[in-house]
Amino acid sequence: MSLLQFFIIVSAVVFIFLGIDLYKRKKANALHFVIFLSGGAAIILFAFNNQLLNDFWKFFGIARGADLIVYASLIILFYFYFELLNQHTKDKFNLTRLVSQLAINETLNTSKDKISSYKNQTSKDDFIFNIRIYNEGAVIGKTIDEVIAAGFHKILLVNDGSSDNTLEVLTQKQSQYSDKLILIASHTINRGGWAANQTGYNFIKKYGELLNIKRFVGFDADGQMNVQDMETFIKTMHKHPTDMYLGSRFLEGSKVEAMPTARKVILRISKLVTRIFYGSRVSDPHNGYRVISLPALRKINLTADGMHYANELNEQIQRNRIKYVEVPVHIRYTDYSLWKGQKNSNGIKLWIEMIYKKIFFR
């Protein structure tokens, strides 16, 4: 027996015992166990007799059995890679759900009396702003001031495990506007852009009646969005009543300040990719400025932790036949928002994630 044969046989035995261990710990199903067992046994058998390997595969028209081992190994490698990736993704989702639910419960426990006692003052109290925040201590105070000054008095602030002074600023603003309904939901650890939105969506879906609201408003913390666009949203609601209103940077009447050319190209490509994969004809699929009715919000069930949630949202719109109208908005790009927000390179990662979630994730 050669040294190579010895190492192959030892590796095959380890492979078999790994499969047995995974099956016992319920980390693998029966199919996985059979693959581990039969694959390991075949490797041991053919390691002792190389000619037997060649004779066996000649029966199937393959000249050299070693070639098939290479091909089969690649297939098995990719199979287990995606199995592990799927399990890792599911674990991430489960962790996000746990962190999100803890934040929702804590928010309700600390704010239930204030929520119950708050009485709507104007029609703008039918709206609640959902603002996701991560290390935005430098700008979030101004954003809250702008929303309150525009007459909107209900805000859900989702602090996604910030490590700067964000929570201190949020608490200060909550005290400053004590007569308004400002709620703070804090994640114990950072979970990503959609994870924060997930907490806001789920809190409002579950307690919409308690909050006495009719519509959800998606709004950014970094100062890119203009709260005055809500007047356009409201006018559009009166003119075209429907379930959902989506902000767009690419409609007549929209205004975009200082958008980099590379960002324009990426957004145009994203629009094309979204149309191909989801059949969505939304002109600006990654615009987070949205106004959604409570019944429509309850039809949406997204899972992504990162910015892929926007693609899932477009898929949910198509799947649930949610009617929508697009609304022109004003977006202002600043040095801060470009530094803090999505990097252009993340567009490629976003497309890869979309393809993986659409084709391989189960």
The helix (run of H) or strand (run of E) holding residue 244 is: strand 244-248
Q: Where in the chain are all domains bearing CATH 3.90.550.10?
A: 96-360
pLDDT value for 362: 64
Residues 204 and 216: beta-carbon distance below 8 Å: yes
Radius of gyration of the chain (CA): 26
Q: What pLDDT score does 41 carry?
A: 80
SS3 234: helix
pLDDT for the residue 2: 61
Cα distance between residue 221 and residue 51, in whole Å: 68
Q: What is the pLDDT of residue 66?
A: 56
Q: If DSSP states are collapsed to H, E and C, what string results for 136-174?
A: CCCCHHHHHHHHHHCCCCEEEEEECCCCCCHHHHHHHHH
What pLDDT was estimated at residue 69? 61
What is the spatial distance between Cα 205 and Cα 123, in angstroms, rounded to a whole number? 20
Structural tokens at position 348:
């490629």
> What does the buried/exposed string (b/e) look like for 104-119 if buried means 16 or more CB atoms within 10 Å of the residue's CB?
beebbeebeeebeebe
| CATH class of the domain whose range is 96-360 | alpha beta
Backbone angles phi, psi at 258, to 5 degrees: 60, 35
CA 192 vs. chain centroid, Å, equals: 8
pLDDT computed for residue 194 by the predictor: 75
Which DSSP string do the residues of 11-75 spell out, in sequence order? HHHHHHHHHHHHHHTTSS-HHHHHHHHHHHHHHHHHHH-HHHHHHHHHTTT-S-HHHHHHHHHHH
Alpha-carbon gap, residue 333 to 329, rounded angstroms: 13
Spatial neighbors of 256 by CB under 8 A, at least 6 apart, are 249, 330, 331, 332, 333
User: Residue 331 phi/psi, 5° resolution?
Assistant: -120, 130
Over the chain (362 residues), the average pLDDT of each successive run of 10 is 66 74 68 74 73 67 58 68 79 90 96 95 96 94 97 97 96 97 96 85 96 97 94 97 95 86 75 73 89 95 72 85 96 75 57 64 64
- Tens of pLDDT, residues 170-228: 999 999 999 999 999 999 999 877 788 889 999 999 999 999 999 999 999 988 999 99
pLDDT at 60: 60
Give 23: exposed, middle or buried? Use CB within 10 Å, 0-12, 13-18, 19+.
middle
If you average pLDDT over every residue of the chain, what do you get? 84
Question: 155: closest CA among 138, 188, 179?
Answer: 179
Predicted pLDDT of residue 178: 95
Report which of 263, 330, 336, 278 is spatially closest to residue 308, judged by C-alpha positions. 278
Q: Is 325 helix (H, G, I), strand (E, B) or coil?
A: strand
In angstroms, the CA 80 to CA 10 distance is 20
Q: How far apart are CA 275 and CA 184, in angstroms?
A: 36
